[in-house]
Structure 1
């Protein structure tokens, strides 16, 4: 039995779709707070188990019978450690055979403040003495591609990444890596640094948008506080604006770069080019 947490999210849904191509639906269980969000998977024969990180007593039963558990990191930044601790303790109680956790690229040395909770979670996993795999996921290309509509309106990409190289990959690539680990043997103890085969600066990102749109697009590098203020002014919640601005500064220090090609090696193909992601977003 393969159990997937956070299965209603962007990454989780892609993982489940990938698993369904390799294992029977009856061998997959999804742990979600809102079962209605995965009704389409339930209709295919996948088990759906309701549980909540903030209700630890619900987790052990949800993880029961898991030969392999994919713990997709919680999305509430600042609250992840207690939530992850509850999940890890429940995995112990349920005698999970293998715990696979989605962490952050170079979590142990990353300059991104976002890495702190991942680093602490990794320490909790090691202390739990459960066989584990750590998937240290780099940036999703979608994190930047999602802003293209506003970039086209404003004629500029704004950020605080300086000349930092960003080795992003499509969310689907990271999902495929998780599926590979969950369906292959002899994975316990491995730590994967996962990132795109190609890298780019935000100036290059702006130039690529200009190339495909035919519009004049430039990159404006801003101090962290100014970039955060711009994001809040654009309507983003302050917490998300903080994460994005801090992460951009981390990118300027190399925090989103890796050239080990472990992701493409794991999925057996080149990662999705960020240029293709830009082109698809513009051309629809």
Structure 2
């Protein structure tokens, strides 16, 4: 079963077409990453799904229109405390007030519930915003650039929170920073200039785009002649020696010749895993 289905989606701003024939789906229960550079159309797509923007085409969300949504530029009432803010929305959504403290603990704001939001850091406000999305009883949560502008430690903590609350829910998370979300996403939607470039499991997209992989070789007492020989192997786009590390950029289908050569020289090596970053480099270059 799919949690989100988008069919033949088109969005216009006057005469400018912001989204052009977008078609994709997100299976229920997955964390989906919506990726693309700034200006790709990510926020326009999200606003279409949550019903903020008019559009042409079809959008279906499991369990109707009840979506938990956190905008990138979410506004907060600074004169309220964290608890008062969630109490306001709990009454609006019909959420049990008794569970607010449980929700605050879930997002790491227990002990901060009586602090004015105006005193919250940016990371604390994002936590509060995520807590607010959970008040809607929705099984679909959409977060627009939730990790943007945060320091690495806060990003790591928020990723853990998202993983924890993703049980029995479907998430759609947008980001232009691949490293922010690749650790937690098991479904990817790629867009650029208002057009869909691909969607699916990361490993399937890797097969589809055949990205350049990095093969990292740890060596000892190696000279440039080894690097030059590596460059001659079919599929090797480049090889660079830095200290005792050779980095090979490989874009072919069969890398066995590289390994045969390395073994013949008695070199120790390890192969880095393909990541969303390698997909990103290939698709958006």
TM-score (norm 2): 0.31
Bigger strand fraction:
2
Q: Over alpha carbons, which structure has the higher Rg?
A: 2
More helix by share: 1
